[in-house]
């Protein structure tokens, strides 16, 4: 799909890059010639991921531990990666926390557990790197992984919905404020992609997974490679004029939820024959 050197020599930092979608993006960027840094809380997970990716594709994956909830640790992590590669070209805000629960069951600590990772963590990383880009007069790209429910909110994942909506507001705001510095900001809103992190917490059994898939017009979940390709495109030179966008990659899921008559996809051909006859009669 892409030229093999699409991201040649770019340095891309991915938070939560040792697992799931973060790792899939890291692997694709590496294949396309980027130098990649991954960060999260767990050293062993990061090291294994980095070693496996380098063994499979060559190139360089640098890993360093950071809890994005800690602004000092974030500043230190950005300095470490910047020093290692002599600069950073792009940040992917991918680290997140989430679980489903009736909201009235949540403690304030449960709310903070999600808000601190998603909203504060993404903001701290963006701010720390943005300051460095501006002071060193370097261009930069920020890509944040949000969710489709930033538009609508969502019952049962309310801290995540509030936090991701905040990340999207940051994205759109800074797309305008920082464009004069050569910094662009975009977001990707994935539909359901099977990862251990998301599936084990949100859809831990087959019955729930089937209910989730039934909502998707294309009748299937996303493949990690499909999301990684979109991310690669958005970080490539050819997409430089895209700024402040949020691109859904969900097989049409959120539009189906929004369309007033989408529920009619459950009707059978016989239902449609009868309905059509009645509506023609009504027309007469
Ligand atoms: C209710 C819960 C809970 C749950 C934790 N808590 N899980 N409350 N239901 N399922 C409460 C705890 O009881 C505690 O409150 C507070 O939250 C903090 O819990 P900790 O375990 O101490 O939190 P912490 O160690 O900070 O872990 C954060 C975490 C965890 C978010 C809870 O799951 C995590 O580390 N997640 C990272 C990875 C992740 O979530 N990936 C999924 C991304 S998917 P009390 O009051 O008892 O002290 C995604 C979008 C998916 O984002 C969209 C799908 C289509
Ligand atoms: P995942 O594998 O659980 O990814 C979450 C990552 O965030 C982990 O690598 C985790 O690593 C890291 N992380 C969590 N807390 C952190 C902290 N405090 N500091 C630093 N890193 C932290 O789940 P995923 O499905 O790949 O999710 C990736 C992104 O896609 C998230 O932004 C998620 O909201 C979004 N998304 C996913 C789906 C889906 O269906 N999978 C749908 C919509 C949106 P450590 O535990 O090592 O810290």
CA of 67 to the centre of ligand 2 (A): 12
Residue 195 lies in a domain: yes
Residue 119 lies in a domain: yes
Residue 169 lies in a domain: yes
The ligand with the least distance to the CA atom of 190 is: 2
pLDDT band of residue 1 (cuts 50, 70, 90) is confident
> In whole angstroms, what is the distance from residue 158 CA to residue 31 CA?
36
Q: pLDDT tens for residues 19-49?
A: 999 999 999 999 999 999 999 999 999 999 9
Residue 62 lies in a domain: yes
Instruction: Report phi then psi at 198, rounded to 5.
Output: -80, -45
List, as one string, the DSSP characters of 129-161: HHHHHHHTT--EEEEEE--GGGTT--TT-HHHH
Q: pLDDT tens for residues 68-124?
A: 999 999 999 999 999 999 999 999 999 999 999 999 999 999 999 999 999 999 999
The count of domains in the chain is 1
What phi-psi label fits residue 106: left (phi over 0), alpha (psi between -120 and 50 degrees) or beta? beta
> In whole angstroms, what is the distance from residue 161 CA to residue 99 CA?
11
Q: pLDDT tens for residues 199-248?
A: 999 998 999 999 999 999 999 999 999 999 999 999 999 999 999 999 99
> What's the pTM?
0.98
Residue 224 lies in a domain: yes
Note the residue count of the chain.
284
For residue 279, give the H/E element and its range. helix 269-283
Residue 266 lies in a domain: no
- Domain around 103: 11-251
Total Cβ atoms within 10 A of residue 259: 13
Residue 268 lies in a domain: no
Question: Closest residue (by CA) to atom 10 of ligand 2?
Answer: 16
Residue 193 lies in a domain: yes
Q: Which residues contact 106 (CB under 8 A, 6 or more apart)?
A: 158, 159
Pocket-testing residue among 96, 154, 160, 246, ligand 2, by greatest number of atoms within 8 A of Cβ: 96
190: β partners: 249
User: In the annotation, is 149 catalytic?
Assistant: yes
The ligand with the least distance to the CA atom of 99 is: 1
Q: Kindly state the DSSP code that residue 36 receives in the 8-state scheme.
A: E
The domain that holds 107 is classified in CATH as 3.40.50.720
> In whole angstroms, what is the distance from residue 11 CA to residue 138 CA?
13
The counts of H helices and E strands in the chain are 11, 7
Measure Cα distances from 101 to 90, 180, 194, 236, 253 in Å.
34, 42, 19, 38, 21
């Amino acid at each position: 799909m892409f030229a093999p050197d699409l991201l040649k020599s770019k340095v891309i930092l991915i938070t939560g890059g040792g697992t799931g979608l973060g790792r899939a993006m890291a692997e694709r960027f590496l294949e396309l010639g980027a130098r990649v840094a991954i960060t999260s809380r767990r050293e062993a997970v990061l090291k294994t991921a980095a070693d496996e990716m380098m063994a499979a594709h060559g190139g360089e994956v640098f890993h360093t531990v950071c809890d994005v909830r800690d602004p000092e640790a974030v500043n230190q992590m950005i300095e470490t990666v910047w020093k290692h590669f002599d600069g950073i070209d792009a940040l992917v805000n991918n680290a997140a926390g989430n679980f489903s629960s009736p909201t009235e069951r949540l403690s304030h600590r449960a709310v903070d557990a999600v808000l601190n990772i998603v909203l504060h963590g993404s903001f701290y990383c963006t701010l720390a790197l943005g300051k460095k880009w501006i002071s060193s007069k370097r261009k930069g790209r920020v890509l944040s992984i949000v969710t489709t429910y930033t538009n609508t909110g969502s019952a049962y994942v309310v801290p995540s919905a509030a936090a991701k909506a905040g990340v999207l507001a940051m994205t759109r705001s800074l797309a305008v404020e920082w464009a004069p510095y050569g910094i662009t900001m975009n977001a990707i809103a994935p539909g359901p992609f099977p990862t251990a992190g998301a599936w084990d917490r949100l859809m831990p059994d087959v019955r729930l997974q089937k209910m989730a898939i039934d909502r998707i017009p294309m009748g299937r979940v996303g493949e990690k490679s499909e999301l990684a390709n979109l991310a690669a495109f958005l970080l490539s030179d050819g997409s430089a004029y895209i700024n402040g966008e949020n691109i859904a990659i969900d097989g049409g899921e959120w539009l189906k939820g929004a369309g007033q008559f989408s529920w009619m996809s459950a009707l059978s051909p016989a239902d449609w024959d009868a309905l059509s006859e009645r509506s023609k009669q009504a027309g007469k």
